[in-house]
A and B are shown apart, each in its own frame.
Chain A
Amino acid sequence: MAIVGASGSGKSTLLSLLAGLDIPSAGAIEMAGHSLHNMSEDERAGVRARDVGFVFQSFLLLPSLTALENVTLPAELSGDKKARERGLALLDQVGLSARADFFPSQLSGGEQQRVAIARAFITKPAILFADEPSANLDAVTGKMIEDLLFELNDSQRTTLVLVTHNAELAKRCQRQFQMRSGRFVASEPSAEDTANVG
């Protein structure tokens, strides 16, 4: 699904709440059987470690780790012993196995975002949040990143929540929610379905 809206419409705030990065001042957020709004920062971190993946607009790779280490980081934090193998496989899937030992500063913007996508899928998250994943990239690279994201999303059977102001990209999602001034103003394909999103 896609959340679309102009700058300042509240897309990113919604994403931070949905992903448990922040808690709402009022209301409730339920995800994968967890009441995020009642959980502490560390408890929400646990939920994120198990069920959530992220792809950010500015890639947000750790500059002192290699591409492979960035990919395996979430798995290693969860104590996954096969992190390295799975990381290599994912890097292969995003076409960067040859650059596994490169540092982010040695990679192009598109390559960095591909590493970020591989990182997002390593814990096999139930839900993946992507915040303007192609906004910092040129048109061709952006398109390639979008394709890769949808491809992996399909193959891993993950729920993708995409925040974007790009209408074309939003159309590729099964559902779209339009935001303005912190509120949903329209949804496609049907308004009834939106009630379940929270």
Chain B
Amino acid sequence: MWASIAGRLFWRELKRGELWVIAFALFLAVGSVVSLSGITQSVKSALQQRSAQFTAADRVLGSSQPFDDNVFAVAAGLDVATARQMQFDSMLFAGEQMQLATIKAVSDSYPLRGDLVLHRSASITSGPAGQLTPGEVWFEARLLDLLQVQPGDSVELGEARLVVGGVIINEPDAPLSVFGGSPRVIMHLADVPTTNIVQPGSRISYRYLFSGNTAALDELTEQLQPLLSVHQRWRNLDRESAIGSALERAERFLLLAGLLGIVLAACAAAVAASRYSQRHTQAVAIIKALGATTAKARLLYGSHLCLVVLFSLVLGLLGGQLAIFAAEFGISHYISDYRTEFSVRPLLLGTLTCIICALLFAARPLWQLAKTPAIEVLKQPAVAMKLDKWQLLFGAGAIWGLMWLFSGELLISVGLFLLCGLFAAMLLGFAAVMVKLARPVAAGQSSAGRLALANLRRRLWPNSFQLITFSLAIFLTLLLYFLRAELIGQWQQQIPEGAPNHFLVNVSAEQRAQVTAFTQNNNLQPEPFYPVVRGRLITINNETLQQEASKEDRSEQRVGVGRELNLTWLAEIPDNNKIIEGQWFTDTTAAEVSVEQEIAERLQLKLGDTLDFSLGGQQISTTVTSIRQVDWNSLQPNFYMILSPDVLATFPATYITAFYLEQGSGKLINQLARQMPTVTVISVDAIINQVNDIIAQVTIALSFILIIIALAAALVLVAQVQATLEQREQELAILRTLGAKYVFLRNALLLEFAFLGALAGLFATVLAELLLMTLQQRVFEMPFQFHFALWWMGPVIGIVAVSLLGWWQLRRLLQIPGAVLIRRVIQS
């Protein structure tokens, strides 16, 4: 019987709009958790599948030096299968088209693990299978479009002409870059010599692939150890776990960022539940007076929460799942293997979030509601809501619990929780100060302004919720706008007029004259040629360096650079470099090195230290005689280590130069690349495009969070305004009785919300300016620039958004004729 009453009451309350805020808040929380978690899971599994299903070998030895046959001899002796692989970047030509590509040349036995799947067609979905044979190259599908070729057409790679076999469907050990890279090409190792691309000093990565049983592989590792030079390193095959953990971090970050919205939504639910329970105090008193026990009242009203939770949970799970499907369109653009995957985890996480939010944010007011004594039936119902300390405590506990659930780490959750508390306290202090400061200003204003300020001051504590939510939403809006519209533009403007925008890398000693002739013929102003020798820093003051910083190995050993460095030698210090310690090389200098300031700090180097480098198997020893400051924004070739000319002159080097070329001179670059196919041309525009691409992706993620937070912010405002509805009704009735006109009341109301919006906007602006300042200085390394537009945009967005929402909520109250309002208040 009670169930039928509960059902009827629930349905009516739902129709009266009483439960919608709670329902929508929970829906928002569930939907955002499911979608955020589901999308990152799908991305993760897409990348993992690509990696885990196909590994080209059991062990991989990488080197920057040509293949050493001794290594293969050891492997053959141990019955370990081997394959060879070379990888380098080079330009490909087809008629008028050209494209920089990553070329992988492999031996017949490649791959030792997984499958190389090639299609003899332009389509990745169908076509006859192909096989890797000399004379043919296989393209990543997008390269066919870029070069405008079809299978069967021929392309030029270096000095060789090769036929396009078709497209690569599966490449076992393709790099797992979310942001992509150059298009990939696979060719037979036997064709490499005819291309004539491999020159002394060329940047080529050699890989020895091994497969066999674990014991044999371990033995191989053991036996090879003494043979290996510093240029040869075992490559970490555990990439999937590395990517997995990176994505796990991304998922945690997104969930925690989304958590802000969820927490705000839950706060809205808590406020709405408190209001619901306050509005139903008398109803509970009535049914108890009519003979219902506390347990029965609890069943009646508890079932309302259960039904709302169920309703929101189902819709939230569905909505989240829909968002996951919708995201496929956006993400598959960046990750070709991305397929939406159904996983139970996001659904469980969503359900858990819903239960935590409902239990800890909304359940207490309803639990307390059932305890209302029957005697309340004879009392005047309270109008103002009381602050329930226990509910605050439960709410705070829930926020921390959710942070723990989403971050998976206790320390992070505690830190984040404290940070949020600090942020809220700061905002509250800020609001209190602003309201106080505004008081003398308001004294000179119309009485509508004074009334608005008085209302704000009185509701400062509940208003702080609104301030936090709107500040966050406006902050994100500003950030998105400025990231998209301003920062990149500003960064581009920073590049001096005529600064080099094309870099030529891999220029051989012989090609220098050709390049010079080319620049002279075309009236280009080239930078000087910088010789480059690749070398590895192996010891500092005879102390051997740990080559990679790893979490597990916390030995005292000093950590090195972790990769090969581009070393150069120069007689004169470059224009954009400044000696901050020591002296530049002189004529009598012998085996000295000048170190860039930041890397000197990282490696804890000081003047007089001895640095040993390994270059192509030879070891050289140098002394640090100067530390340089480098302007990395100059877009000139810059180096961490510059050696004195006497040390490196005998090593085979390639050269780097750069020049400025006006936009739209693509043909000239084509011509240059065709003349010197081994030279790699890097254009700054391409880098800017890549940065734009990354920003576009960050923007998508942030936009999603923004939507969640903006909705939550609106929800909090609606809940708060509804919670003050009875109080406002009473105040309006009094003001009307005292003769206040409609226009006066409307102005006071609008001013109250406008002031709240302006405060939120101002706070958001300060936050956004601080963050943009950090981004400008730390990420883009630009001098700080004030964003004047921010300072009017923030407050204006705040004023408009909050006033509109407030007005939309309260307009009906203002439209009620005075007499009706007064009667209503007297009757209640």
Contact = CB atoms under 8 A, between A and B. Distances in A.
B291 A21 contact: no
Interface stretch (B281-289, B640-648, B728-736): B281-289
A45 interface: yes
B290 interface: yes
Contacts of A78: 291
Given A73-B5, A76-B4, A22 B375 contact: yes
A64 B5 contact: no
A41 B2 contact: no
Contact of B290 (A15, A63, A77): A77
Interface string B372-395: 011101100000000000000000
A45 B292 contact: yes
Contact of A64 (B13, B290, B375): B13
Contacts of B291: 45-46, 48-50, 52, 74, 77-78, 123
Contacts of B603: none
B220 to A, nearest CB: 79
Q: Which of A45, A131, A136 has the most CB of B within 10 A?
A: A45
Contact of A73 (B287, B373, B827): B287
Contacts of B227: none
Interface in B252-295: 282-283, 286-295
Interface in A109-156: 119, 123, 131, 136
A64 B296 contact: no
Interface in A59-96: 60, 62-65, 69, 73-74, 76-79
Given A12-B378, A41-B374, A56-B377, A77 B289 contact: no
A61 to B, nearest CB: 8
A12 B377 CA distance: 11
A21 B290 CA distance: 10
Contacts of A63: 283
A177 interface: no
B378 A45 contact: no
Contact of A65 (B12, B288, B292, B293): B12
Nearest to A49: B291
B8 interface: yes
A149 B344 CA distance: 62
Contact of B293 (A42, A50, A60): A42
A58 B826 CA distance: 11
Given A16-B378, A76-B4, A76-B5, A60 B286 contact: yes
B8 A54 contact: no
A56 B294 CA distance: 21
A136 B282 CA distance: 18
Nearest to B282: A60
Contacts of A21: 289, 373-375, 377-378
B373 A41 contact: yes
B16 interface: yes
Contact of A45 (B5, B9, B282, B293): B293
Contacts of A60: 282, 286, 377
Contacts of A73: 5, 287, 290
A62 B286 contact: yes
A41 B377 contact: no
A160 B595 CA distance: 102
A77 B378 contact: no
A63 to B, nearest CB: 8
Task: Choose among A12, A46, A73 the residue with the greatest number of B CB atoms under 10 Å from its CB.
Answer: A73
B307 to A, nearest CB: 14
A65 B290 CA distance: 15
A95 to B, nearest CB: 22
Given A73-B287, A123-B291, A79 B13 contact: no
Contacts of B215: none
B1 interface: yes
Contacts of B13: 64
Contacts of B8: 65, 69
Contact of B9 (A19, A65, A136): A65
A141 B751 CA distance: 45
Interface of A: 12, 15-16, 19, 21-22, 41-42, 44-46, 48-50, 52, 54, 56, 58, 60, 62-65, 69, 73-74, 76-79, 119, 123, 131, 136
Interface of B: 1-2, 4-5, 8-9, 12-13, 16, 282-283, 286-296, 373-375, 377-378, 827
Given A41-B373, A77-B290, 16 more contacts: A12-B378, A15-B378, A22-B373, A41-B294, A45-B292, A49-B290, A52-B291, A54-B290, A56-B378, A62-B286, A64-B12, A73-B5, A73-B287, A74-B291, A78-B291, A79-B1
25 contacts: A12-B378, A19-B289, A21-B374, A21-B377, A22-B373, A22-B375, A41-B293, A41-B294, A44-B374, A45-B293, A45-B374, A46-B291, A46-B293, A48-B290, A49-B292, A50-B291, A54-B290, A60-B377, A62-B9, A65-B9, A65-B12, A73-B287, A76-B1, A77-B291, A79-B1
